[in-house]
Structure 1
Amino acid sequence: MPMLQLFRTSLVFRTTVSVVLVVLLVGVFFTVVALSLLNDRERLQTAAHLDELLKTVESTVSISCFLQDKNLASEVSRGLMKNRVVKSVIIVEEGTVLAQEGRPSGTSGLRRTITSPFDASKPICQIVMEPNEAVIEEQVSRSSRLIVYLLLMQAAAVGLTVVIGVWKWVIEPIKTISDQLHRLPVEAGARLQLSRKYAKDEIARMVGDVNALITSLVKTLHQERELRIWREREEKRFRTIFENAETGIFVIDKNGYIFSYNPAFVRTLGIQEGDLSDRTKTSLPVLLGMSMESGNAIIARSLTENRVVAEDVRIDSGGREPRWISLVLNPVEEGMLQGLINDISERKKSEESANRLAMTDRLTGIANRLAFETKLADLAERAALDSGEPYILMLMDLDGFKQVNDTHGHDAGDAVLRHFAGLLESTVRKSDFIGRLGGDEFVILLESPIPREGVERIAQKIIASLAAPIRIGRDVEAKVGASIGIAFSREAADKDAVFKLADEAMYRAKRAGKNTYRMHPEDADADAIVGSE
């Protein structure tokens, strides 16, 4: 423990230990590498030496093998054995041992094929020479000890030199600077002093940087004092704005509980200030009439994504006209959010009015093509779900409408279109969709389940309602019919295909004599389908 404490608190001790460890690790590394290289070199030299020995006696062995002279072969073997690195020698001619010296260990040795002294292409015997591993290991060991001693002495010299250098040129000046810093009266503008021998190195630059930092710190303290005075003045001004702003301003925690708010917050929500007396029990979702799940989801999204989140919230006022509140949340610190609320009820009314105008046919007052495409896309999306119900599209075109326009004028034609729109509204339920696509083309979208006969009755009722002439003036009547095409969503891949099938069915009705209806498919079964009576 004392050594560990010293390592943590003493730069001198920490530096010395680090240098020694590095030197030791480097020394060990290079020693291992040197020993490995030395071992390889000794073995290569031994192999080269043995090869030279074989080359020296190769001609003599060739003659002994040619003459099958065992004495000469034995003389050669004994001569080779005089080398300490040779453990055994065997000369073999066609499976017969001419000479053998030493006791082979069975390991692979240096093998040389000997050719005839008169024909170099004709092998006549082999000589096998096995190196003495013990002698080789002894030579390697002796050389290794010398290398290790030299490397260790070199490492010790380098380590000692580094430690002295680090102490003299790094640790000592840093310790001097540290001692000065402990006693330096910064508030009085005092600066660090350094010996001239360090005047141009990194230590001098560090002292200069510290002095510059002290100057900057003194300046910053002065600025901070002025900034504090300015902030107090701005807080008073902000408090005035906060208390008198028309926008509701508040602060909540991650659970939605109110921590602070301005008077406009209370006015916008239409509550009494006493309702917020216990702020830890008053949550924003409750005040806005939202479910805790949806309210906390907005708060969590703002905190998780660390960004401003805006949401328009509808507040139902119990029988009175609903109000709309624009809610904006912004994370300001860990687990806290600042928020703004504004009453946007009038803006929402204007938007809803504009949307109704955009979705309404001005002539007939029923839905237009844009509203139809929006509704059809919604039904198709719901029908695509596993639990979604299919729907029916009824497309109809007025027969004889062009003659009304040509005979009585466009005002009469407009009257016929308005009359037909009224007939459709009286034929289907309010929950069913009725629209005019343009000209004399109308459409109905049906949803809830009824039998096929119910859909047919709707088409028959529409056609029957046009049997009587339409009065369009005091003494003017017009006669029109309707060709109706009916398609089921379950018979098509998508909404465009449903519309195409209904269009094809409508044209079949026209070819059948007009003022009638056709379904796709013609042979649809009588199971429950979707429609309206």
Structure 2
Amino acid sequence: MPRLLLLLHTRLALRTTAIILLIVTLLGVVFLALAVYLRAESVQREQQSRIQELLTTVERTAQIGCFLGDRHLAQEVTDGLLSNNIVRAARIEAADGTTLASGRTNPGDPDAATVTRDVFSPFEPGTSVCEITVEPDQDYIDELVAQASNFIGGALLLQLVGIGLCVILVVVRFVTRPITGLSHRLSELEAETGQQLQAPKGNRDDEIGQLVISVNAMIDNLVQSLSEERRLRLEREVEERRYRAIFDNVEAGIFELDGGGFIRSANPAFRRLFGMPGGTNLERHPVAFASLVSDGDGEAQSFVIGDDQGGHDRQWEVALEDGDRKRWVSLILSPLETGRLQGVAHDITERKEAADAAERMAMTDPLTGLGNRRGFDHRLAVMARHHRLYPERCHALITLDFDHFKRINDTYGHQVGDRALNHVGAILADLVRQRDYVARLGGDEFVVLLEGCSERDEIESILTRFLERLRTPLQADDGVEVTVGVSIGIALLGVDADDPQQTVQFSDMAMYAAKRAGRNTWRFYGDASVANAD
């Protein structure tokens, strides 16, 4: 084993062959497993489809037998099903639960999956007269799956073996052997004497020949390069001392990343900002920058750079966990050299918090804490973009308006009116999902956006629970009970209209239709009464 490992380490041809064999083996296993799995799934689906076809074939006969209660005819249907290899057991039960016919070809698993189909009356299509239950013969199906899988697996295995052997022969003959010979000659070359390489026969005009030309050109320039390298080294030492003075004393965090996203150096300000121990030797024990960052606009893989990435600056804002408080840091990364980035970090927590607070205030209703009209317009624009990308997904827009809200303000005062608004807003926010949106557009008008919701039953279930909770009177001061009524209109983006603004108009029209219908109820824009009013 040690001898084999040494040969693998020192022989390119052997190592290349081993790697190709390993890759071919791994690919063979993966593709073999995938092919077998796909074929098995295909056979399973074919047999399930066949069972459905059998049920369809006997369904008409079963209708007559079940409708007449003819056990003999039902037994013939059962026997016909059992004559197929894929059926192990079959049973026909009448609508009252009695068994009209049953049969089994061999004992089976009592927990085996079954296929059931309701049989409806030939004269009353909506009335079920019996139920056919079929238990597939899983052993027979598994045998079919095994036969198909073995054939596919064998063919694919032979193909992969042939491809692997051909690739190995080509690589050894045209790549590794010439490179091995060139390596031996290069190890004996005395570059300082001006000695040069000779390209192998047959490789003078290809990439290996170009490699030989490049090596010879490198030898010609070697002496000149050595003197230039010494001069550049002195200049670099001066620049490094100058950079180190700035690096250690500047207030901003300065750091360097390698191609894998690991920190290779960091100044004291950066260590303080990210809570890193001051004595950490980052050159010997680099730290992954992604491990220092929690959430933010920059993702972990964004700090990994490749040779094909352009030399342009990139900027992120990342979040750091600092106890119960989240601190935000602005990062600017600039290319330093190939596979190396230089970064500058600034603490922007106060600026970020101020901007977020201003944005929340701009999009939040100060009375209810829900969204306001600006927030609603923003969310509606997001929903519009989502609908353009996924037109098959529909969204519900619900408009709510208080019934006789002015009477509440005039009778009990604006304080009670505000409490009623908060009461309704709290109920709405509690009933909808987290991804949905509730806003107060102004006065006593509310709106709800239900994302990805087009089922009428689901919408009506939410509104039913909403109105039920509204029936509980609101307890005002001095024991006064206030009952709130709401008229509701619903329009569906993607069903009633594809334009969000038109959907808003349709929802508003449906709300007025609810008011005309007696208030404290809802109407869909698609209802006939709303369409006629339009």
The alignment's TM-score, normalised by the length of structure 2, stands at 0.48
